[in-house]
Structure 1
Amino acid sequence: MSSPDPHNSPYGPPHTSQQPPQGGYPAYPQEQYGGYPGAPGTAPEMPGTLKAARTLLFVLGGISALLAVLLLITAAAITTEDLKDLNGLDDLATARVAIVVVAVILGALAALQIITAALFGRGRGGVRISSIITGALVILLGLLFLVGVPLIGLVFVTCGILVIVFCSKQDAGHWFNHPPSSVG
């Protein structure tokens, strides 16, 4: 009786025409489509400028959320003696309401920035439009901050401009318009 053919065994590894691995390194399967960017079956990679815009939106969202919390704490802790230094605000309730309104606006903007940045990976046109609108809102808020808190205002204006520029570039258009079937 002869021994069974090792290439025809149902219990062994499948027979391939490749040579066995050399030098103790395991054999890795070759890519089916060549592996170049944009090849069929491969997911496109987000451009570096969009990664930067996404990071800026996450950072701005964190700063906005932190500022909103600090403003709410300030609204709770403010006293009538603190208002003596401010011109035009004599009523404590009015000052608290104004601070809470600014905190709510900052909180809403923080949520918009973080949600928009989180959706960048899906790469759809609505996210691109949302990020450009968010950048414009950040610029407007930064211009208001320039009056009272110049450093934060400058950071907001600069980051808002960068988000708009990065999301308006041609490679951003390609990323946000790629077909949905190519995303993994």
Structure 2
Amino acid sequence: MSFGDPKNPYGQQQGGQPQQGGQPGYGYPPQGQPQGQPGYGYPQAPPVQPYGDGGWGGPPTTMPGGVTAARVMLYVIAGFQVIGAALMFLSAAAIDKAKEDPKLRDDLQFEDLADFSTSSVYGIGVLALLWGAVAIFLAIKFAKGGNGIRIATMVFAIITAILGIYPFVVVGLVHTVLAILIAVFVAKSDGGAWFNRPRH
């Protein structure tokens, strides 16, 4: 009967009994050490903390992807506002010019359009420009702004989403989608960590 190689630590020991005392067998904790205590394997790591207070990463040093995307979307909204304002100004100018045309004065459809005040069309264009300027201001402040910029951006996004639904339903659909995404990205935890980070 063979008991295997006596020099092989993985083979069955002579005598057919496990080792007692001394060096423990393979895969077993040393005798006398209670179970549940780290002995073999990897050492235990400290608990992971997401940001600050001595966590592994500390406060974010670069703008998170969601916040960067929200910033780009603010610039896109500003671009749409400039285009919308330009269209309003051109429409108002076209209405003013058409009012002077004697051929159109007898046209009933044009009379309905001419009744619409051109000053109100210009006013909508100015409001569109101002709304775009607010979007640009917020986007610029993302780099160094604090929690106030975060809150202002969320308020801006909510109002933009509502205005996109009513009264500018078809034109404002893109605005609504962008505004909802901006609010979500800024409100997320990484957005909060970015805007609440310590400034030196």
Query: Shorter-chain-normalised TM-score: which range?
Result: 0.5 to 0.7
Give the aligned partner of residue 103 of structure 1.
125
Aligned: 1:155 with 2:177: no
Give the aligned partner of residue 114 of structure 1.
136
Specify which of 54, 69, 77 is matched with residue 94 of structure 2.
Answer: 77
- Kindly provide the amino acid, as one letter, of the partner of residue 76 in structure 2: V
Structure 2 gaps, min length 5: 1-55
Cα gap change, 1:69/1:90 in structure 2, threshold over 3 Å: closer, same or farther?
A: closer
Question: Structure 1 length as normaliser, TM-score?
Answer: 0.67
Q: Map 1:5-16 onto structure 2 (within 5 A).
A: none
Question: Structure 2 length as normaliser, TM-score?
Answer: 0.62
What's the CA shift for 1:85? 3.6
C-alpha distance in 2 between matches for 1:88 and 1:61: 31
- Kept in 2, the 8 Å contact 1:37–1:44? The answer is no
Aligned: 1:128 with 2:150: yes
Give the aligned partner of residue 165 of structure 1.
184
Give the aligned partner of residue 179 of structure 1.
198
What's the CA shift for 1:140? 2.4
C-alpha distance in 2 between matches for 1:153 and 1:85: 26
What's the CA shift for 1:87? 8.8
What's the CA shift for 1:136? 1.6
C-alpha distance in 1 between matches for 2:65 and 2:143: 13
Question: Aligned pairs, how many?
Answer: 137
- Kept in 2, the 8 Å contact 1:53–1:167? The answer is yes
Specify which of 120, 139, 145 is matched with residue 168 of structure 2.
Answer: 145
Root-mean-square deviation over aligned CA pairs: 2.4
Identity of aligned residues (%): 32
Give the aligned partner of residue 61 of structure 1.
78
Higher helix share: 1
- Kindly provide the amino acid, as one letter, of the partner of residue 55 in structure 1: V
Point out the structure with max Rg over C-alpha.
2
C-alpha distance in 1 between matches for 2:122 and 2:155: 24
Cα gap change, 1:87/1:178 in structure 2, threshold over 3 Å: closer, same or farther?
A: farther
What's the CA shift string for 1:137-160, capped at 9, x where partnerless? 2112212211xxx1x321011011
What's the CA shift for 1:95? 2.4
